[in-house]
Amino acid sequence: MELRVLPSSSWRVSRGISRGSEMAAGTAPNIRDVAELAGVSHQTVSRVINDHPSIQPQTRARVEAAIKTLGYRPNSAARSLARMRTGRIGAIVDSPEHFGPMNTLRGVEVASRRAGYFLSSVSVNDDSVDAINQSLEFLLDQNVEGLCLIAPRLPLLEVIRRRGLQIPSVVIATDTAHLVDDNGLQASVDQELGTRMMVDYLLELGHTRIAHLSGPHDWGDARSRRATFEATLAAHGLTPAAIVEGDWSPDSGFAAGPGLIEGTGATAVFSANDQMALGLVHYLSEVGLRVPDDVSVVGFDNTPESAHMIPPLTTVRQNFEKLGEMAIGSLLARIKGARVERETLRTQPSLVVRSSAGPRPATQRSR
């Protein structure tokens, strides 16, 4: 007896013959025998048996060959049970240590629970294809009914798109160019609206020399906020006083201070998040500049700490709870069989005015 799909694994073939001999002696093979012979997990074997659409063709071929070699017969009752709904949704979240992804995951979890579903989540923190595939396999092995991808950066989506997904999914990301499929669901907070509201607010205060402390370029939210910042100024015949890229951390905000302030004539700085704004305010204090008397500083996110900065930070609030409700609502509609065309969902942010921004100074700074 020969297992052609694994010609280099002779020990697996001989074991298959041994299992066949055991069958003749009255010992039937089980699902773990099939998994061992095919070189996969027993959950993967179960998904092949139940014709789960997420299985790649080469994996399916290996499992089916092992089933044939061993003469394995799946239990019909177990198959029926496996095909029942599990009431479980999977989530893969990129960079969960950051405020946006962390709170998006929280919003998705709350919305799932309210809908009567459990959420199984895994996190990825690098661009490793193997790590992303392993995370996906972990969730699929739990027979999740749908998948939520919280993808602030593109690598996660690129890997999933190349692999392909045959279960309902929703992408929570600003970028729409790399959806998982052509009829995909995509949800996000309206970054353009939030940025326009903030820049317009600074313009209303009389500022014409506005600098931008941007987030890292590989984040969709950072790219959207920067592009909208520049476009909004251009619509008023203005150009940025300066643009410096940070990494979302307070330390990067502090380090960006000289590039944003020295010799730029900036009277206001729009920071792409509150944490970098915190570091920038620290820098301004160190060099003897007052906020907002000398320089106005505004942020984005409305983190819990932003209300207690000195001075309290004017910022943009993102409604992550509403985002989770919209994303999970549309995902569940697909899980339950609704025909949903490609759809882009947006929640509206809101401006939170505090005391870190004021009117443009009457006199120009000497530095």
Number of domains in the chain: 3
CB under 8 Å to 323, separation ≥6 — which residues? 104, 107, 172, 187, 188, 189, 347
Instruction: Pick left, alpha or beta for residue 299 (phi over 0 → left; psi -120 to 50 → alpha; otherwise beta).
Output: beta
- Any idea what DSSP says for residue 305? G
Residue 221 is predicted with a pLDDT of 94
Residue 13 is predicted with a pLDDT of 35
pTM: 0.77
Alpha helices in 50-88 (DSSP H): 57-70, 76-82
Per-residue tokens: 337: 């069989």
Residue range 144-167, pLDDT digits in tens: 999 999 999 888 888 887 877 778
Residue 357 covered by a domain: no
Residue 2 covered by a domain: no
Q: Among 100, 150, 145, which Cα is nearest to 122's? A: 150
Residue range 279-290, pLDDT digits in tens: 999 999 999 999
Residue 276 is predicted with a pLDDT of 98
Residues 150 and 216 occupy one common structural domain = no
Residues 166 and 98 occupy one common structural domain = yes
- Strand, coil or helix: 271: strand
210-214 and 169-172: which strand pairing?
Answer: unpaired
Residue 111 covered by a domain: yes
> Residue 330: which domain range?
88-188+320-348
Residues 300 and 283 occupy one common structural domain = yes
Residue 145 is predicted with a pLDDT of 92
Residue 62 covered by a domain: yes
CATH number at residue 49: 1.10.260.40
Which residue has 């992408």 as its token pair?
171
Residue 364 covered by a domain: no
Residue 177 is predicted with a pLDDT of 57
Alpha helices in the chain (DSSP H): 10-24, 31-38, 42-49, 57-70, 76-82, 99-114, 129-140, 154-163, 191-204, 220-235, 250-261, 274-286, 320-335
Residue 117 covered by a domain: yes
CB under 8 Å to 288, separation ≥6 — which residues? none
- Strand, coil or helix: 45: helix
Residue range 214-236, pLDDT digits in tens: 999 999 999 999 999 999 999 99
Residues 183 and 219 occupy one common structural domain = no
Residue 356 covered by a domain: no
Q: Report the distance separating Cα 179 and Cα 173, nearest Å.
A: 9
Residues 281 and 203 occupy one common structural domain = yes
Q: Report the distance separating Cα 251 and Cα 360, nearest Å.
A: 27
Residue 162 covered by a domain: yes
Q: Report the distance separating Cα 118 and Cα 91, nearest Å.
A: 11
Residues 182 and 198 occupy one common structural domain = no
Give me the residues of the chain with pLDDT under 50, please.
1-26, 77, 80-81
Residue 338 is predicted with a pLDDT of 76
